[in-house]
Amino acid sequence: MTSPSVRTLRGAAATLSAAAVLGSALPAVAAPAGTEGPLAIGHRGAAGTAPENTVPGFTDARAAGVDHFEVDVQLSADGVPFLFHDNTPARTTNVEDVFPGRENDPVTSFTWDELQQLDAGSFFGSTFAGERIPHLDDAAKVATVNTGVYIEIKSPQNSPGIEQVVADALALDEDWAKLLGAGKVTVIGFDEASNRTFSDLAPEVPLQQLTGTVPDAATIERWAGFVDSVGTDYRTLDAAGVARVDAAGLDLGVYTVNSPEAVQHVVDLGVDMVTGDFPVQTGRYLGGLRPFPTNNGIQVEDSVNDVPGDDVQPETGEHVLLTNTGRTTVDVSGYVLRDAASNVLTVGEGYELAPGEQLRVHTGPGTHTEDAYYNGRASSVLNNGGESVALWTGDGRLLDVFAN
């Protein structure tokens, strides 16, 4: 698969095993002549290291050197395009405090003024307290001719007319027009009818059809009439799917690729775009460097989140397994595990792991032991459908990301 949009890899990581990169510090190595690798796209900005769909997330992605960062656009009740992923404001804002009883209302039922009263950063950490929900144009102000934007039209059924609003912004706003002229804007979406509408309104804007799995060749051929690329879940992708998209003359992107092992997998498949929550770490990996240079030997060995029956049953339920792969004992007290939806598990005080030792960090209740800590929650937090879990020290150093 060749595309005018793909770039030369910044290193020889495509020929290296993920285990080798994780286990040793590697110098950057020039890619072999002619080697092409995927564009790097920051998911919702850089959702693994900053609150999703916020200006700090966009600036994190830009600083990481990504080719683009991705945002989700919806329309407020009074027609203002704003950047937000979920259908309700409950998960990532303080709506319960500001507008009690409206936490499960559609986010598109709020006016722009109401949306601006919400804190969209504190859910991720106190450092980001007070961050506001951005306007669509805020993404263009952060982007550059080197770092573009993927604009996902999110849940278009909840934002009637959004295709026209986005098309007008790209055509009339000076910042967007500059990016579009530099080839640094792509519009993406899951809704085929919405994508067709946008294609009719702005045929000059690159367009991507999102899909959970790569469909049959006939469907892809139909999409090829109005889109330039396909984006799919990397977990469902195989070589046959890549071949079907390639045969239709379309580029292929994958989401949401967070662990080095997952990055290596899709590089081996030959995809054109890789979207992930941790663009700094992906960039380091693609450059032949250790993705987690501050790792002290503690790694996420497994995420067990599909326990039969009740995920949070006492003693045996949902948990994350940590392993000390290093040569020294490490105090993991206060370590934090955060999943892709920003659910958090912690490790209590008094836990040290000697080389080779393991610790189970459980979501639910149980009796603490030397090799198990229980957070005592009443409901599961890890996504059974396959997500990622990031490991942080108590003082905010990212040590590892595991994807299942």
DSSP letter string over 8-50? Answer: E-SSSGGGS-HHHHHHS-----PPPTT-EEPEEEETTTTTTTS
pLDDT confidence of residue 313: 79
Determine the average pLDDT of the residues in 376-404. Answer: 87
How far from 51 is each of 46, 195, 267, CA to CA, in Å?
8, 27, 27
> Structure pTM?
0.90
The predicted-structure confidence for 228-240, as pLDDT tens digits, reads as follows 999 999 999 999 9
The closest of 123, 124, 118, 143 to 66, measured between CA atoms, is 143
The predicted-structure confidence for 56-69, as pLDDT tens digits, reads as follows 999 999 999 999 99
Question: Can you tell me the distance from the alpha carbon of 153 to that of 245, in angstroms, rounded to the nearest whole number?
Answer: 22
The closest of 290, 286, 289 to 271, measured between CA atoms, is 286
Residue with the bigger pLDDT between 377 and 35: it is: 377
pLDDT confidence of residue 316: 78
Counting residues of the chain whose pLDDT is more than 70, the rounded percentage is 89
Instruction: Map residue 70 onto helix, strand or coil.
Output: strand
pLDDT of 13 over the 70 cut: no
Q: What is the dihedral of CA 182, 154, 229, 210, to 10 degrees?
A: 160
**Domain 298-403 falls under CATH 1.10.150.110:** no
Average pLDDT, the chain: 90
pLDDT of 48 over the 90 cut: yes
Domain boundaries in the chain? 7-286, 298-403
The predicted-structure confidence for 146-201, as pLDDT tens digits, reads as follows 999 999 999 999 999 999 999 999 999 999 999 999 999 999 999 999 999 999 99
The CATH fold of domain 7-286: TIM Barrel (3.20.20)
The predicted-structure confidence for 110-155, as pLDDT tens digits, reads as follows 999 999 999 999 999 999 999 999 999 999 999 999 999 999 999 9
How far from 114 is each of 94, 286, 321, CA to CA, in Å?
12, 42, 42
